[in-house]
Amino acid sequence: MTPDLMIAGVMLVALILYTLTGGADFGGGVWELLAGGPRKDAQRRLIDVSIQPIWEANHVWLILLIVLLFVCFPAAFAAVCTALHVPLALMLVGIVLRGSAFVFSHYDPLHGRGALRWGGVFALASLVTPVTLGIVLGALGSGFEVDPRTGFVATDFVSQWLAPYPFAVGLFTLALFAFLAAVYLVCEADDPLLRADFRARALASAAVVGASALLAFLVAPPAIRHDLSASSWATPLHLATGLAAVAAIVALWTRRDRLARACAMAQVTLIVVGWAVAQYPYLAHPGYTIAGTAAPVSVLTPLLVALALGGLVLFPSLAYLFVVFKRRRAA
Amino acid sequence: MTDLFAARAQMAMSLAFHILFAVVGMAMPLLMVIAERLHQRRGDAVYRELAERWSKGTAIMFAVGAVSGTVLSFELGLLWPHFMAFAGPIIGMPFSLEGFAFFLEAIFLGIFLYGRDRVPPLAHLLAGVMVLASGTASAVFVLCANAWMNTPTGYTLGAGGEVVDVDPFAAMWNPASLSEVLHMTSAAFAAVGFAVAGIHAAMLLRGGRRELHRPALRIALTVGAVFALLQPITGDLAAKHVAEHQPIKLAAMEAHFDSERGAPFRIFGWPDEQAEETRYAIEVPYVLSFLAHGDPHAEVKGLKEFPREQRPPVAVVHVAFQIMVGCGLVMIAVASLGAAFAARRRALPDWYLRLLVVSAPLGVIAIEAGWTVTEVGRQPWVIQGVLRTADAVTPMPHLVVPFAAFTALYVVLGVTVLVLLRRVVFAAEVPAHVPVGMSSETSREVAR
C-alpha cells in the first residue's frame, strides 16, 4: 500500500468517525427543531445533555479531515475549495452558528430571553450543515476537469454543485444524521416514554433515509450510477448496507435498542465506505486522483508517523472521554 | 472593492476575530488550573467557585474559537487556493500536529468542564493541565506555520517550479519560529491575565464579594504581570530576528526610509510614502540600531533600498507597531506597580483597581496590533519572497459577498458573546448577597 493510499484511508476513517459522532450531533439539532408532543422539553433536555460534553471533540474530526486534505492532496484541496466555494461557505456559516448557538443557549443564565434567542438558530443551523456537507460530497463525483491552459480546475463556481444529484445527497445526509441521532437518543434516554418518542422518530427517519437514497439514485448522472456499481466490492457492500439497515429497523421495532444502535452505526459506516469505493481512485472526479494529487513522499511518510504517534495519544483520550460520559448508560 | 482586497479583508477580519477567542482558550486554562489546585490543596470553596466561574467563561470563548478556527482552516483554501496548493504539504506537519493538539484540548476541556463529579479530583486537575498543555501546543504549531510564511525553509524547487525534497521538520522549525512562538504565547498569557484582572477589579469597585474577587484578582494579575514583564525580552528577540531576516518589515515598523548608521528609534510620526519621509516623529538617536543589531552604530536598512512594489503599506505597519509597543509599555508599568504593592504586602488601593480596569483591554489591543505588524508587514508577499498575495487569491468573483456575510456573522457573534459574558458574570454574583441598590436589571431578573 502506497503512503498516499494510506493517508486516504485515514481520511476515510476520519470521515466515518465524523459522521458517527459529529453527524449525530447535527441530527440532534434536527430533533431539537422537531421536538413536540407532551415531552417536548424533556426531549430537548436529553439532546442537550447527550451532546454537551462531547460535541467539541466530535467536531475536530472534520478539522483533521480538511487538514489532511490540504497537506497531502493540495491540488485537490485547491480545486475543491475553488469550485465548491459557495456550498463550503454555507456549510461554515452553519458550523459557526450551530457551535455558538449551542453554547450560548446552554450558558445563558436567562435561558435565551431578551437578546439571546439562539435555540432556534442552533436547530436551523443543524439543517444547513448536513445538507451542504452532502452537497459537497455528492458534487465530488463528477465535473472536476483540469483546465489545460491554467493547470487549475475549470469551473464557473456553480455547475459542479448546482445540480439535482448533489442536492439529493444533501437531503440524504440530513436524513441519515437525523436517523443516527434518534437511534442514539433511544439508548441515552432513561424514561421509557422518551425512549418511545425517539424510537418512533428513528423509524420515521429510517423511511426518509430510504426514500432520499432512492431519490439520489434516480437523479444521479449516468457516470455516477456507473461508479456506484462498477467496483467488484460494490454489490457485496450494497447488500451489507441493506442488511444493516433492515436489521436496525427490526431491532428498533422489537425494542432491542443497543442492537439497533450497533446496526445503525454499521449501516452508516457502510454507506460512507460505499461512497468512498464509488469515488475511488478519484478525490474529485475526473481530474483529481489520489495518486495524481498526492504530495511528495518526503511529506507523506513523516506525516504517517506523526498520525500514528498522535493516534496513540488521541484514541485513549477519546476513549476516556466517552467512558466518563457515556459509561453509565452503556453498562 | 477588488476581489483581492475583499479576500484580504475577509482573511484579516477572520484572523482578528479568531485570535481573541484563541488566546482566551489558550491562557484561561492556566488560571483555571491554578484555582483548581488551590482549591484541592487548601480545601477552600472560594477557589472551587472561581475555577467553575472561569470555566464557564472559557467554555463560551472556546466554542466560538473552535468554530472560527474551523472557518479559518477552510478559508485558507476558499480564499488562497494557490497558496495552499504550494504551501500545504510544506507546512503540513505543524498543521497536522495542531489538529491533534486541538483534539486533545477539546477532549480534556469536556472532562474538565463537565466531569467534576464523574472523575477523581486528581484526574480532574490533570484534565485541566492537559487542556493547558495542548492549548499551548496548538498555539505553538500554528505560530510555526505562520513563521514559515515569514522565513520559508525546508524545501527545494524542482525544474518545473514544483516542490520537491520537503523536510517537514526544517519547515516547522524555521528561523522565525522561536521568536514568534515566545513573543505570542507570552503575549496571550499577559493579555488574558490583564483582561481577567480588569474584570475582577471592576467587580471589587462595584462592591462585589471581596473574598471571591480578591483571590481572583491576585491570580490573574500575577499571571498577567509575569508575562507582561517577559515581553520586552521576547520582543527584543523578535525585533532582532526581523532585522536580520525581514529588513523591509523592520524598516516599515519604524517608518525608516533612509539607510543610516546610528539609526534613531521613532516615537509617533506619520510616514509619507509618496515623499518617502516620516514627519512629526520624536527621534531617539542610536536606539533603533542598538535594538535591531545590538550595536548603536550598526547600519539599519531603510525602505529606499527596496523597490516600491516590494514595500508593505508603511503607515499601517508603523502605526500598528507604535500601538503594540505603547500598550506593552503601559502594561509593564502597571505590572511593576502591582509587584511593588505585592512586595510591600499592601492591599491594592482603589485608584490602582481603576487603573487595572482601564488596562484590561491593552493586551488584546497589543495582540491585534502585533498581528497587523507581522501580517501587513510581510506584504506584498504571502510567502516572503516566494509567492505574492495577489497571485495566491482564488479566481472566484464577487468575494465582497462572503466578506460582508462573514463580517455580519461575526459582529452578531461578538455582540452576543459580550452580552452573554456580562450575564454570566452578573448571574454568578447573585447567590451570595445582592448589594442593595446596586443590583442591575440582569441580576434582579435572575434572582426572581
CB A144 within 8 A of CB A153: yes
| CA distances to A307, B85, B367 from A6, in Å | 11, 20, 40
Asked if B420 reaches chain A (Cβ–Cβ under 8 Å), the answer is yes
Task: Report the residue of chain A nearest B407, measured CA to CA.
Answer: A93
- Amino acid at site A155: T
CA gap A48, A148 in Å, rounded: 51
Chain B: closest CA distance from residue A240 (Å): 32
Quick check: helix, strand or coil at residue B285?
coil
Q: What is the pLDDT of residue A185?
A: 94
CA geometry: angle B34, B207, B192, nearest 5 deg: 35
Strands B277-284 and B163-164: unpaired
Cβ-contact B131, B29 below 8 angstroms: yes
pLDDT of residue A114: 55
pLDDT digits (tens, 9 = 90+) for B13-67: 999 999 999 999 999 999 999 999 999 999 888 999 999 889 988 988 988 998 9
Judge contact between B258 and B365, C-beta under 8 A.
no
Task: Give me the residues of B, 192-251, that contact A with CB < 8 A.
Answer: none
Residue of A63, A115, A296 lying closest to B166 (CB–CB) = A296
**Chain A residues with CB-CB distance to B62 below 8 A:** 56
- Cβ contacts of A132 on chain B, cutoff 8 Å: none
Establish whether the linkage from the previous residue to B168 is cis, with ω within 30° of 0: no
Alpha carbon of B343 to those of A112, B46, B340, B347: distances in Å? Answer: 46, 24, 5, 11
Contact (Cβ atoms closer than 8 angstroms) between residue A55 and residue A47: no
**Grid cell locating A234:** 460494490
The whole-angstrom distance between A316's CA and the closest CA on chain B is 10
For residue B100, which residues of chain A lie inside 8 Å, CB to CB? Answer: 64, 306, 310, 313-314
Is A57 in contact with A18 (CB distance < 8 Å)? no
Distance CA A235, CA A309 (A): 36
Question: B277-284 and A288-289: which strand pairing?
Answer: unpaired
Q: Any idea what DSSP says for residue B263?
A: P
| Helices and strands per DSSP (H, E), number in chain A | 14, 2
Sign of the torsion angle spanned by Cα atoms B9, B14, B17, B23 = negative
- Terminal CA-CA length for chain B: 51
Test the B interface: residue of A58, A104, A136 with most B CBs within 10 Å: A104
Q: How far apart are CA B96 and CA B138, in angstroms?
A: 10
pLDDT at B443: 40
Using alpha carbons, list the distances in angstroms from residue B427 to B215, B421, B434: 19, 10, 10
The residue in chain A having the minimum alpha-carbon distance to the alpha carbon of residue B105 is: A57
Size of interface A-B (CB pairs under 8 A): 223
Nearest to B232, CA basis, from B368, B366, B365: B366
* Residue with grid cell 437578546, as numbered in its chain: A115
Summary mean pLDDT of chain B: 89
* Collapsed DSSP state (helix, strand, coil) of residue A232: coil
Distance of alpha carbon A189 from alpha carbon A257, whole angstroms: 11
- Residue A116 has what pLDDT? 56
Q: How far is CA B96 from CA A67, B11, B23, in A?
A: 6, 21, 20
Q: Is the Cβ–Cβ distance between A248 and A263 less than 8 Å?
A: yes
Q: Which residues of A touch B445 (CB under 8 A)?
A: 110, 113
* Residue B71, C-alpha cell as written in the block: 472557518
The pLDDT confidence band at residue B437, using thresholds 50, 70 and 90, is very low
> What is the per-residue pLDDT for A112?
56
B442 pLDDT more than 70: no
pLDDT of residue A119: 67
Chain A interface includes B411 (CB < 8 A): no
pLDDT for the residue numbered A122: 73
- Is the separation of the CB atoms in B363 and B195 below 8 Å? yes
Tell me the C-alpha distance between B442 and B295, whole Å: 58
**What is the grid cell recorded at B190?**
499577559
Which stretches of B60-188 are assigned E, i.e. beta strand? 156-157, 163-164
As a whole number of angstroms, the distance between CA B434 and CA B209 comes to: 10
Q: Do residues A123 and A30 touch, judged by C-beta distance below 8 A?
A: yes
Residue B336, C-alpha cell as written in the block: 511593576
Query: Among A81, A97, A100, whose Cβ lies nearest the Cβ of B81?
Result: A81
B positions 64-93 inside 8 Å of A (CB) = 64, 66-71, 73-74, 76-78, 81-82, 84-86, 88-90, 92-93
Reference A286, options A146, A155, A171, A185; nearest CA is A146
Is residue B292 over pLDDT 70? yes
Q: Does A56 contact chain B (CB < 8 Å)?
A: yes
Question: Which of B68, B103, B422, B444 to probe the A interface (max A CBs under 10 A)?
Answer: B103
- Contact B397/A at CB under 8 A: yes
CA dist., res. B71 & res. B78, Å (int): 10
pLDDT at A41: 86
* b/e code B135-155 from CB counts within 10 Å (16+ = b): bbbbbbbbbbbbbbbbbbbbb
Pairing type for strands B277-284 and B265-272 reads antiparallel
CA distance B19 to A132: 27
User: What nine digits make up the cell of B159?
Assistant: 525544474
Query: Is A52 touching B (CB cutoff 8 A)?
Result: yes
Provide the shortest C-alpha distance from residue A46 to chain B (in Å): 15
From B319's Cα to the closest Cα of chain A, the distance in A is 32
Residue appearing with cell numbers 526610509? B257
pLDDT tens readout for residues A183-224: 999 998 989 999 999 999 999 999 999 999 999 999 988 888
DSSP A102-160: HHHHHH-TTSS-TT---HHHHHHHHHHHHHHHHHHHHHTTS-BPBPTTTSSB---SSTT
| Containing structural domain, residue A145 | 3-330
Q: Which of A68, A81, A88 is nearest residue B96 as measured by Cβ atoms?
A: A68
Dihedrals phi, psi of B261, to nearest 5 degrees: -90, 150
Are A252 and A199 spatial neighbours (Cβ–Cβ below 8 Å)?
A: yes
Residue A111: predicted pLDDT: 63
Q: How close is the nearest chain B Cα to the Cα of A237, in Å?
A: 31
Shortest distance between the Cα of B169 and any Cα of chain A, in A, equals 9
CB interface of B with A, residues 112-151, below 8 Å = 113-115, 118-119, 130
Report chain A's C-alpha Rg in angstroms. Answer: 20
Considering only CB atoms, which chain A residues are within 8 Å of B108? 317
**Average pLDDT of adjacent 10-residue blocks, chain A of 331 residues:** 92 94 90 86 86 80 91 92 94 88 76 62 84 94 86 86 94 96 92 92 95 92 80 86 94 93 95 91 90 90 92 91 73 38
What is the per-residue pLDDT for B448? 36
Residue B110 has pLDDT above 60, yes or no: yes
Nearest alpha carbon to residue A132 among A173, A104, A189, A177: A173
The x, y and z cell numbers of residue A24, run together, are 449525530
pLDDT in tens, B316-344: 999 999 999 999 999 999 999 999 998 89
Domain count along chain A: 1
The reply to whether residue B402 touches residue A89, judged by beta carbons under 8 angstroms, is yes
A84 within 8 A of A161, measured Cβ to Cβ: yes
Out of B59, B110, B166, name the one closest to residue A298 (CB). B166
The better pLDDT of the pair A216, B438 is held by: A216
The angle formed by the CA atoms of residues A233, A175 and A22, to the nearest 5 degrees, is 85
Please tell me which of A220-224, B159-163, B359-363 the model is most confident about, judged by mean pLDDT. B359-363
The residue extents of the domains of chain B are: 3-447
Integer CA distances (angstroms), A253 to A200, A202, B123, in order: 9, 10, 41
Is the distance from CB of B127 to CB of B108 less than 8 angstroms?
yes
* Nearest residue of A to residue B107, measured between CA atoms: A57
- Distance between B155 CA and the closest CA of chain A, angstroms: 10
Nearby residues of B256 by Cβ (< 8 Å), 6 or more positions away: B250, B263, B266, B278, B288, B300, B302, B303
Q: How far off is chain A from B303, nearest CA to CA, in Å?
A: 35
Query: According to the model, what pLDDT value does residue A103 have?
Result: 81
Residue B162's pLDDT band (cuts 50, 70, 90): confident
* Torsions phi, psi for A323 (to 5 deg): -65, -45
Beta pairing partners, B260: B300
Widest distance between CA atoms in chain B:
77
ipTM for the predicted complex comes to 0.89
Q: Cα dihedral sign for A69, A71, A76, A78? A: positive
